[in-house]
Amino acid sequence: MTVAVVGSGYVGTTLAACLADLGHRVTAVDIDESVVETINAGSVPAHEPGLDELVETHAGDRLRATTRSDAVADADVVFLAVGTPSAPDGSVDVAPIADATRAAADALADVDDRRLVVVKSTVPPPEIDRLRSILDDRAGDAVELATNPEFLREGTAVDDFLSPDKLVFGTESAWATETLASVYDRLRDGERVPIVDVDPETAMMVKYANNAVLAAKVSLANEIGNVCKEFGLDAYAVLAAVGLDDRVSERFLRSGVGWGGSCFPKDLSALIAAADAEGYDAPLLRAAVEVNDRQPERLLSLLEAHGDVADDRIAVLGLAFKPGTDDVRNSRAIPVIRGLRARGADVVAYDPVATEPMRELLPEVTYADSAAAALDRADGAVVVTGWDEFAALDDAFDRMDRPVVVDGRRVIERRDGIVYEGLTWPA
Ligand code: UGA
């Protein structure tokens, strides 16, 4: 099939490269000239394991990129995968997706064979009708709207795309369902991957609900973890046992300093704001956010229980919002560092890959080249990202002036010579 993908962020680029790999002819459309040049040169604008190989293989052949939005006129299926930034009140700024829909509609104004415009971006269900109206008003009658949310995780996006748990189609006709099924046919592995076929608004609600359930699950693990800590118990032992109940599953029960990234915080705020606009105040969703907001402070209280940190040198180990990425958006390291600085501490931070993005956000912090250098002469350390390398620091702790270590991700082994505190497990 001939497919256009509008927006070349990590979702759009993963989608474009994977669809090319499935055998489709794909045009990636982005307003950023440098992103387009990067893709056409066979490189990737965003770091994602496995994506560079796919782009390198297919660029110039089944995958090409352009800044021309009229390129979508040639496509059987047009995916819209542009960003949906948050407005200051937490709601979604729908201007970019509305602009992309308008541009696609204009490019498809004169077509008379059936075309499908598929919203991949995460858009609150009540906003879908606005996009539908844009298409109805500007594109030809043969153009139809669908939604098709994605469930990719940063760091494993290519694998997640190629081996999904489910495909969710939000469609308004049997033709649209069949068209989307043809797009994904090669990865369906026979009937192994279920298709959930619902209307466009319901499909988008599946996306929000999916992230809300996962984020709330982690917040519940954190709340149980905080209670365990008060009782002197190990939340990891407790929740490992709970996770053996297959109604629960053991996944997304790792308690600690909380969730970050570009998805959970944004999608929960957007869902709360959209529900609020309808007059519902969503207490449990708000609580999931509140528990998450409190975890960094709990980490710092545990550190302070071992002494005042004012004028102390404190090492912050880990800046990325999770291991395997250099993304620092909504990383728990941000409130942790701000909290330390507000207490007068001298922060020395280290991350194997996320130093530069964090330096842009928090230039006043000292950044070390290694964990050992961050720990050198430190009066305390906090672990914020669960990088494997932190499990193997061994003698580096001997370099600390006061070896108090508060672990927010359960990666450090207890050892002689350090005072060790777990965030949701006993000292
Ligand atoms: C998340 C979802 O997992 C994807 O399915 C979804 O497509 C994506 O959002 C999105 O909406 O685009 P992602 O943000 O890449 O993916 O990262 P996750 O691996 O889900 O982790 C999110 C946060 O939760 C991280 O900060 C992680 O450290 C934290 N987490 C996760 C925990 O604290 N404990 C856990 O047990 C699991």
Ligand 1 centroid–CA 153 distance in Å is: 6
- pLDDT value of position 158: 95
- pLDDT value of position 427: 83
- pLDDT value of position 47: 77
Atom of ligand 1 nearest to the CA of 122: 11
Place of tokens 């090492």: 315
Q: Is the CB of 261 under 6 A from ligand 1?
A: yes
Q: Is the CB of 235 under 6 A from ligand 1?
A: no
* pLDDT over 80 (residue 381): yes
Contact criterion met (CB below 8 Å) for 334 and 362:
yes
Mutate which of 11, 86, 152 for ligand 1? The one with the most ligand atoms within 8 Å of its CB, which is: 152
How does residue 117 score in pLDDT terms, banded at 50, 70 and 90?
very high
The C-alpha atoms of residue 168 and residue 149 are separated, in whole angstroms, by 6
Ligand 1 centroid–CA 260 distance in Å is: 7
Give the model confidence (pLDDT) of 89-106 as tens digits.
Answer: 999 999 999 999 999 999
Atom of ligand 1 nearest to the CA of 259: 26
Residue 58 CA to its chain's centroid (Å): 26
Q: Which two tokens stand for residue 185?
A: 């046919």
CA atoms in the 13 A half-sphere facing the CB of 183: 30
- pLDDT value of position 415: 85
Residue 159 CB contacts under 8 Å (≥ 6 apart), including other chains = 50
How does residue 70 score in pLDDT terms, banded at 50, 70 and 90?
confident
* pLDDT over 90 (residue 323): yes
The mean pLDDT of 267-294, rounded to a whole number, is 98
Atom of ligand 1 nearest to the CA of 154: 15
**Taking all residues of the chain, what is their mean pLDDT, rounded to a whole number?**
96
Give the model confidence (pLDDT) of 169-227 as tens digits.
Answer: 999 999 999 999 999 999 877 778 999 999 999 999 999 999 999 999 999 999 999 99
Q: Is the CB of 260 under 6 A from ligand 1?
A: yes
Q: What is the helix (H) or strand (E) element at residue 4, kind and residue range?
A: strand 2-6
Q: Which two tokens stand for residue 195?
A: 């298709």
The mean pLDDT of 253-263, rounded to a whole number, is 97
Going by CA atoms, what residue is nearest to atom 30 of ligand 1?
A: 259
Going by CA atoms, what residue is nearest to atom 13 of ligand 1?
A: 153
Ligand 1 centroid–CA 331 distance in Å is: 11
* pLDDT over 80 (residue 56): yes
Residue 176 CB contacts under 8 Å (≥ 6 apart), including other chains = 116, 144, 146, 169
Active site residues: 263
Ligand 1 centroid–CA 122 distance in Å is: 15
Of the ranges 134-138, 274-278, 287-291, 414-418, which one carries the lowest mean pLDDT score? 414-418
Residue 59 CB contacts under 8 Å (≥ 6 apart), including other chains = 39, 40, 41, 42, 65
- pLDDT value of position 183: 97
The mean pLDDT of 7-36, rounded to a whole number, is 96
Contact criterion met (CB below 8 Å) for 147 and 78:
no
Give the model confidence (pLDDT) of 399-418 as tens digits.
Answer: 999 999 999 999 998 888 89
Contact criterion met (CB below 8 Å) for 397 and 417:
yes
- Percent of the chain residues topping a pLDDT of 90: 93
* pLDDT over 90 (residue 50): yes
- pLDDT value of position 349: 98
- pLDDT value of position 414: 86
> Phi and psi for 146 in degrees, rounded to 5?
-140, 165
First-last CA distance in the chain: 58
Of the ranges 54-58, 154-158, 282-286, 348-352, which one carries the lowest mean pLDDT score? 154-158
Q: Is the dihedral of CA 95, 96, 98, 102 positive or negative?
A: positive
Ligand 1 centroid–CA 255 distance in Å is: 13
Contact criterion met (CB below 8 Å) for 124 and 90:
no
3-state class (DSSP) for residue 253: coil
Ligand 1 centroid–CA 68 distance in Å is: 33
Mutate which of 14, 153, 219, 267 for ligand 1? The one with the most ligand atoms within 8 Å of its CB, which is: 153
Ligand 1 centroid–CA 159 distance in Å is: 15
Place of tokens 């693990």: 221
**Top-confidence residue, 331 or 141:** 331
Atom of ligand 1 nearest to the CA of 321: 26
Going by CA atoms, what residue is nearest to atom 5 of ligand 1?
A: 151
Atom of ligand 1 nearest to the CA of 155: 15
Mutate which of 207, 242, 263 for ligand 1? The one with the most ligand atoms within 8 Å of its CB, which is: 263
Mutate which of 154, 248, 253, 331 for ligand 1? The one with the most ligand atoms within 8 Å of its CB, which is: 154
- pLDDT value of position 338: 98
